[in-house]
Chain A
Amino acid sequence: MSSTCGRKSRGDLEVTFEKSKSGSGIIIELDTTMENLYSNNIRKEIIETLKKLNVTDCIIKVIDDGALPYVISSRVEAAVRLNVEVSDER
């Protein structure tokens, strides 16, 4: 089951998060308008946020349109926590 947060609009990003099997690691599918300049930084921000949330195994799809680091971490955190909340409700 996946959860999606954020928007495909300027200065924002859409994050779709899905848990995966233990041991499968973090898979990031990144589509960004800042590919050449900032894709490494965006990946780093995503990984750091996942680490803080103790997420080790997931598939995370990101469509970014120039979001600042705190926006990236906000949307990733929201998608992860929403996923946990929805799973708990089930």
Chain B
Amino acid sequence: MKDRLRRSRLYMPGNNPYLSQNAFLFGADCIILDLEDSVPPKEKFASRILVRNILKNVNFGPSEKAVRINPFLTPFGIDDLKEIVQAEPDLIVVPKVESIVDVMNVEEIVQDQKKLHGVTKEIFYMCIIETALGVLNSYEIASSFPSVAALVFGAEDFTRDIGTSRSRTGKETFTARSMIVMAAKAAGIQASDTVWSDINDIEGLRKSTEEGKSLGFDGRGAIHPSQIAVIHDVYSPSKEELEYARKVINAYEEAERSGSGVISLGKKMIDAPIVARARQTLEIAKKVGLLNE
């Protein structure tokens, strides 16, 4: 499903079968078998075969199953797709996307492979934006194909690309993160924030995740299972948010019933965006199990 809940995406090294065999127990919304950064070049060949068979044999439970391929600039990206599309991942995570051409290249091979192997399932893409050029072209990327489900910000490569380094405050990435959120939302897709690299700093993770949520992101990456609980906590509606959303919807429905053109909650006027936001909050609460259907 294109707009499924993606609060967390957990990266698992694609060359380690032991770690992935019970990965669904970690409870991430999305599990990414990584063929890119966590696999050294000499293991790429064997890893993509292993990942293909993990996709076919391992039960991911409710987690979405995804694969991060290598960039098309390297000799590995095309071979990754030729191996994994037949195993029908839910999602392909495409790194270093800088223009519509990068998405077209992936789309062409995915469609060829689907035809070749008789795959009818829709496979979605998550495009990682991690260069200045990618940020500037992010709307074009987000709206390029219906299969693009999300834009992801990659901070490490981005900061290197613009000639700086990551700080704890993240101010050097603020503009890029905001632009990615705007591009994704304008195209009607999700935006996902970068990973938090320090697995021992859970407070830092919470703060940064709260900031990402306030910017408009729908989730973020995790490099360790211990990060998932915090990410889910931040990206799930709080009791107060849920309570407020219920009140807004009740007030809206009451105004509709009474034929009143003006909706108010206490002394505050409620307009369409506030109602839409309340619906969105309740929708997320349903998806995460805080509300019954």
The chain A residues found within 8 Å of chain B, CB to CB, are: 5-7, 9-12, 67-71, 73-75, 77-79, 81-82, 85
Contact = CB atoms under 8 A, between A and B. Distances in A.
B56 A70 contact: yes
Interface in B263-288: none
A11 B56 CA distance: 17
Contact of B53 (A7, A10, A71, A85): A71
A79 B46 CA distance: 8
Interface of B: 15-18, 21, 45-46, 49-50, 52-54, 56-58
Pick the most buried of B15, B21, B52, B53: most chain A CB atoms within 10 A of its CB.
B53
21 contacts: A5-B46, A7-B15, A11-B16, A12-B18, A67-B17, A68-B21, A68-B57, A69-B57, A70-B56, A71-B53, A74-B17, A74-B46, A74-B50, A74-B52, A75-B46, A75-B50, A78-B46, A78-B50, A81-B45, A81-B49, A82-B46
A11 B46 contact: no
A67 B18 CA distance: 8
Contacts of A9: 16, 18
A9 B15 CA distance: 11
B-side binding surface: helix, strand, loop or mixed? helix
A71 B17 contact: yes
Contacts of A68: 17, 21, 57
A9 to B, nearest CB: 7
B16 A73 contact: no
A37 to B, nearest CB: 18
Nearest to A10: B18
A79 B43 CA distance: 11
